[in-house]
Structure 1
Amino acid sequence: METLANLESFVRSAESGSFSAAARRLGLTPAAVSRNVAFLERNLGVRLFARSTRGLTLTEAGERFRLSVQSGLDSIQEAIADIKMNAGEPAGVLKLSAAPGFGMDFLLPLMPTFLERYPGVIPDWVFDSRPLDLIAGGFDAAIGAGFDLPPGMVARELAQIHLIAVASPALLRGKRHPKDPTGLAEFPSVVLRSPLSGRVRTQVMRNKSGLEVTAKQQAVMLVNDPDALCRAVVLGLGIGLIPVSHAASHLENGSLVRLLPNWYGDVGAISLYFTSQKLLPAKTRAFIDFVVEAFKVQKLPQVLATH
């Protein structure tokens, strides 16, 4: 396989009819250009130039070869120039994944500022609660929890997510609030099934002293989606153990009330997932840095782990 330097030396020498002129254009010495062309001729086993004191003349074989390679060489050089020019400018379609509720509540509100800063980037969001195959799906980045890390992917933790017990004011009217997680069994509950295994997870809750107690739930409905769980609890169908990320806005507007304010469950970390390649595309690097900074400025790790 011929090197780009050899081909470029040949084509520019053919265009100018001189090794010296080609050397000035390529930023090389005439001897280096002559040597590159000689290597090319030796490797091809054919003479490309007829050399004389008056300059260079393409042989018949040289002319055919020039016509064959020149357009391809020009395309390669244009591609190199384009990538160099745009390497520092984030641009292009950025394929992203996030869980629907979290993405719409915490990530979409970041987009106006992101797009104002990086107008050449087009976010292509896929909202899905299930962990996806990021590499096979062609995703540039994803934000979520519970993703398997295949070779070539890394996770950068953004925040710890805590689970809290909540209920609608109507459901609690006239009832005593429970004193600890075992008291949740006295209320009807909407319970979350794993969207992958279908199993109901036994949730352990802890208080600020570190005491751990298993939450008891009397299921009157089961759902496989955290957004559906939250909506069902707002409707008063039962109490629910809901991530802070889903409950926060409802606690603020009064549509949900927190039970057991000193108790919480650990859901795990919500992380930013992306490929581990050293030279990330500028669009991906810009998004990662932007989200990490936004989480820090808005103090979202503290908000999402409130307990």
Structure 2
Amino acid sequence: METLANLESFVRSAESGSFSLAARRLTLTPAAVSRNVAQLERNLGVRLFQRSTRGLTLTEAGDRFLQSVRTGLDSIQGAIADVSLNAGQPAGILKLTAPAGFGIQYLLPLMPAFLERYPAVIPDWYLDNRPLDLISGGFDVAIGGGFDLPDGMVAKELGRIHLIAVASPAFLRDRSRPEDPAGLAHLPCVAMRSPLNLRLRTWVMRNAAGTEMTAVEKPVMMVNDPDALCSATLMGIGVGLVALPLAALHLESGALERLLPDWHVDVGSMSVYFTGQKLLPAKTRAFVDFIIDAFRTQKLQQVMPAPRTMNKGAS
């Protein structure tokens, strides 16, 4: 009978392609994970991985074995989580990743209430505007958009992220306002590069009537970070197509003004991502339920349109 440690070391190593990444997720040493996998291979009498300096590759037997044991392992872990859930309050370190600006502006203010309700849960935050590898990173929860959904993870959509054209009052003084997205070509702008491939983004805007038009930008500055884009726009460097959640407070204070109020870019969904286990660890279930409820009942719903069919966004 194989031990749970051996099976879990194998499955997590297969998912991440590395003993080191699996060890980080399991809070073990890489040597311990390697020993567990080697013992499993000896007991089964087959080689499960091809090892090289570039990482791990499943053998044909290893791939078949992974498909057979992964569901069972998740069920066992779910049963353990269920015992923990029924035994007491959610507890433990909750590892989360979220976009930096959105996390600080909207998620962080929710934490006092969450920690008061669940004092034994310790949030461990990694704020990054790039989608991270949820499995190899060992994250319990991620909030954001643009993630490749790996096997075993699910997403619950919280709302859509809209970009809107904004500029500072000082910048707009003595300048004519555009009548449509093509008119943005007559104004200096701060343009956005993709955080993933550094290509300059081209945005398609849409109005309430369903008409679509490319936003023609004339960059005087380019950045690859949405928070930097918002800050540069606040400084009056140029027009920016800024995410509504980042722009909302500045629109309310008057630090930014909206151009083309009938037009927006729909760049996709903002979702909460977590493991697809039937029985989540109590800490994860508590956080996911708390965040979903907060998005529905608090002011977050005012800056994120309700979920609906996706429109065209960036190229």
Same fold (TM > 0.5):
yes
Deviations 1:60-99 (A, max 9, x none): xxxxxxxxxxxxxxxxxxxx8x955864410011001100
Quote the offset at 1:200 in angstroms: 1.4
Equivalent-residue separation in structure 2 for 1:167 and 1:304 (angstroms): 20
1:102 lines up with 2:96 in the alignment: no
Alignment-derived partner of residue 282 in structure 2? 282
Quote the offset at 1:177 in angstroms: 1.0
Equivalent-residue separation in structure 2 for 1:96 and 1:85 (angstroms): 20
Alignment-derived partner of residue 19 in structure 2? none
Alignment-derived partner of residue 126 in structure 1? 126
Equivalent-residue separation in structure 2 for 1:124 and 1:98 (angstroms): 11
Deviations 1:189-246 (A, max 9, x none): 0000001111112111111111111111001111000000000000011100011011
SS at the partner of 1:221? strand
1:225 lines up with 2:197 in the alignment: no
Deviations 1:165-203 (A, max 9, x none): 000101100112111111111110000000111111211
Equivalent-residue separation in structure 2 for 1:84 and 1:149 (angstroms): 27
Equivalent-residue separation in structure 2 for 1:152 and 1:84 (angstroms): 21
Alignment-derived partner of residue 203 in structure 1? 203
The one-letter amino acid paired with 1:203 is W
Matches within 5 A, 1:131-210: 131-210=131-210
| Aligned residues: CA RMSD | 1.8
The one-letter amino acid paired with 2:174 is G
The one-letter amino acid paired with 1:100 is A
SS at the partner of 1:122? strand
Matches within 5 A, 1:1-307: 83=83, 87-305=87-305
The one-letter amino acid paired with 2:123 is P
The one-letter amino acid paired with 1:196 is L
Equivalent-residue separation in structure 2 for 1:162 and 1:221 (angstroms): 22
SS at the partner of 1:233? helix
SS at the partner of 1:222? strand
Equivalent-residue separation in structure 2 for 1:166 and 1:175 (angstroms): 13
Structure 2 runs not aligned, ≥5 long? 3-79, 307-315
SS at the partner of 2:90? coil
- Please say if residues 88 and 282 of structure 1, whose CA atoms lie closer than 8 Å, have aligned partners that are also in contact: no
How many residues are paired up?
228
Q: Percent identity?
A: 65
Equivalent-residue separation in structure 2 for 1:85 and 1:250 (angstroms): 42
The one-letter amino acid paired with 1:143 is I
- Please say if residues 189 and 239 of structure 2, whose CA atoms lie closer than 8 Å, have aligned partners that are also in contact: yes
Normalised to the residue count of structure 1, the TM-score between the two structures is: 0.71
Distance 1:292 1:182, change over 3 A: same
The one-letter amino acid paired with 1:168 is S
Equivalent-residue separation in structure 1 for 2:85 and 2:221 (angstroms): 57
Distance 1:87 1:154, change over 3 A: farther
Equivalent-residue separation in structure 2 for 1:87 and 1:125 (angstroms): 26
Distance 1:209 1:84, change over 3 A: closer
The one-letter amino acid paired with 1:213 is M
Structure with the greater alpha carbon radius of gyration: 1
Alignment-derived partner of residue 45 in structure 2? none
The one-letter amino acid paired with 1:173 is R
Equivalent-residue separation in structure 1 for 2:205 and 2:305 (angstroms): 13
Alignment-derived partner of residue 312 in structure 2? none
Structure 1 runs not aligned, ≥5 long? 3-79
Alignment-derived partner of residue 51 in structure 1? none
Quote the offset at 1:135 in angstroms: 1.1
- Please say if residues 163 and 265 of structure 2, whose CA atoms lie closer than 8 Å, have aligned partners that are also in contact: yes
